[in-house]
Structure 1
């Protein structure tokens, strides 16, 4: 009987010791955490819209004279320097006309030389009263007429030279061939488009802004443009045109002039236009916290606030539901759930629970 009682006491003692050991294991160490003291930051309501680059100096190039297209020297997408040849016409007829007018000028100049010689001879005789006034005036008139013929022939030669030059179509500025609208061995007329040519040194971006915010967009407003082809770089721009609207459309065209040129940008490239909207002075002061400070569960979005305890330098993690606004460059905008000067834990949310003791690390 005594032995049985001892065994029972030993078992009871072992159970008590096991129970005490479990309690000790459940006691977790105070967890060190990084934190952020909540303050009100100036935030901008930035909206993003898709845009496409286009040339501010786009032109449809055409010949000033008609004829048979002999050669097209470019293809769509080619980058062309100012003065480079775009296309040529068969200039045979224009060359013949030039040669004829050149011969006419030489003939007129020969007649002028003869008329001048005759005039000078008669003039000297007239001074000495050796010829009549009528004879003098006749020769003088012939000399003046020959001079007029030379001027006319020179004008005709200049015109013929221009016509000959017009059979060569050249790039008026540095640019890119957007479209080719004619082929070799086709007949074309004066003013008929041959290519669409877009400048590359003066690019702009066209985007569309919805009607609910168009009133907050102004000419002269600075914007930022990003291109997926160059994720490491941002481009500055300024709004130059705000369309009054298009009938039956819910978006308004907006034109942004890029403030800097780049040899890597071409017309037709897609990008993202970031517009900072005008907001009232009170609404722009909002709470913004780091993205890592925000957690998400079935109940929604939450943060852990470090609340001071009665122990020195010890805080208690308090789980707090929050309402998120827009994602800003510095983190999430908090619409509700936090107040200024509260301390938010910014890392290790998966190790926290409501009521856990924490210690703030030096950030």
Structure 2
């Protein structure tokens, strides 16, 4: 009895790989057809991405003294000239500080005059042998102390006068105010940013690149008018952004073009030479990502097998990867999301 059951199961398994067509003929199912492409080596990493025109120098503007903002004479987006008034603080507290410092100086002047007069009187007494020389030294020390206190009072007055002058915030350079946050009535502390000035002059292009790629040293930017300008790497962020996992890089525009509108978007092409032999180029359709890392698929003895890879860069049609595969390896070009390890496939060259 058991032999009959085993035989029946074998018949079912054999028939499971077949189907019946319209004419009633039993036809065996064929493995899916896949197209193969040859991966190529590539010594050029190319990034095509958007960049933003930024000023070479973007300066936060802040008061050097604290207080309540009395007036705001500018708006965001406004062009300002060097020395132009931006904000002013309520000067009452600063004026009182100046008055107090002036009173301290007057007191110090009076104390010094008294000390000098007393010293002269004591010298006359010494000449008449009415007091000892030791007493003279004590009055000389008092005169020097009064003189030092007067110098300190003068310095305090000057410092208070400088602080009062800081109540008017003026620009040191000309440029465009790309951000204004200070408002009349707002109380600000020393060094608190109330505006950001994009200085006139040289312009940069700011881009953000994937964490897996270091910014190349050169590239080109296509402007709105269709012209292209050469780019040269100027600075790189010290570390990748922990949230977006991107590198911020700024490229100087080598040609003289200081009239580019700030914040405008340009198309950037960045490239760099590399000698890494494992840098390969594959079609975008060959990439497969299912949450456990990128991979591609190759065919071994008629069966699909995955290969783990690292994606270096992407463009409109191709991906640049690193993988432990020799050049000229044949891989599956499309439909990789439907494959499973060891799945039987038929191949077709592309």
Q: TM-score range by the shorter chain?
A: 0.5 to 0.7
1:62–1:195 contact (8 Å) kept in structure 2? yes
Cα 1:226/1:130, change in 2 over 3 Å? farther
> Offset of 1:74 from its aligned partner?
1.2
Gaps of 5+ in 2: 1-43, 276-316, 319-350
Of residues 258, 265, 281, the one that matches 2:260 is 265
Superposed CA deviations along residues 232-286 of structure 1, whole A, max 9, x for unmatched, are 5635433532776445758644321334554413431222223234267xxxxxx
Q: Map of 1:105-184 to 2, 5 A cutoff?
A: 105-123=105-123, 126=126, 129=129, 131-184=131-184
Q: How big is the shift at 1:180?
A: 1.3
CA-based RMSD of the aligned residues comes to 3.6
Matched, 1:95 2:90: no
Could you state the TM-score of these two structures normalised by the residue count of structure 1? 0.54
1:56 Cα shift?
Answer: 4.3
2:269 maps to 1:274: yes
CA offsets 1:294-337 (integer angstroms, 9 cap, x no match):
xxxxxxxxxxxxxxxxxxxxxxxxxxxxxxx99xxxxxxxxxxx
1:161 CA drift (Å): 1.9
Q: Work out the number of aligned pairs and report it.
A: 237
Q: How is 1:317-356 mapped onto 2 (pairs within 5 angstroms)?
A: none
Q: What SS does the aligned partner of 2:177 have?
A: strand
Give, in angstroms, the shift of residue 123 of structure 1.
Answer: 3.3
| Compared CA separation, residues 247 and 180, structure 1 to 2 (3 A) | closer
What are the residue-to-residue correspondences of 1:191-210 with 2, within 5 Å?
191-210=191-210
CA distance, structure 1, for counterparts of residue 150 and residue 61 of structure 2:
35
218, 235, 244: which is aligned to 1:240?
235
Please state whether the residue corresponding to 1:150 is helix, strand or coil. Answer: helix
TM-score by length of 2: 0.56
Cα pair 1:223 1:239 within 8 Å, conserved: no
Distance 1:211 1:122, change over 3 A: closer
Whole-angstrom distance in 2 between the partners of 1:152 and 1:261 = 52
Distance 1:242 1:122 in 2: 71
Label 1:132 to 1:61 Cα distance change in 2 as closer, same or farther (>3 A).
same
Residue 224 of structure 2 is aligned to residue 222 of structure 1: no
| Aligned match of 2:68 | 68
Residue 223 of structure 1 aligns to a residue whose secondary structure is strand
CA distance in 1, matches of 2:73, 2:233: 36
Unaligned runs of 5+ in 1: 1-43, 281-324, 327-363
Aligned-pair CA distance for 1:52: 0.2
SS at match of 2:75: coil
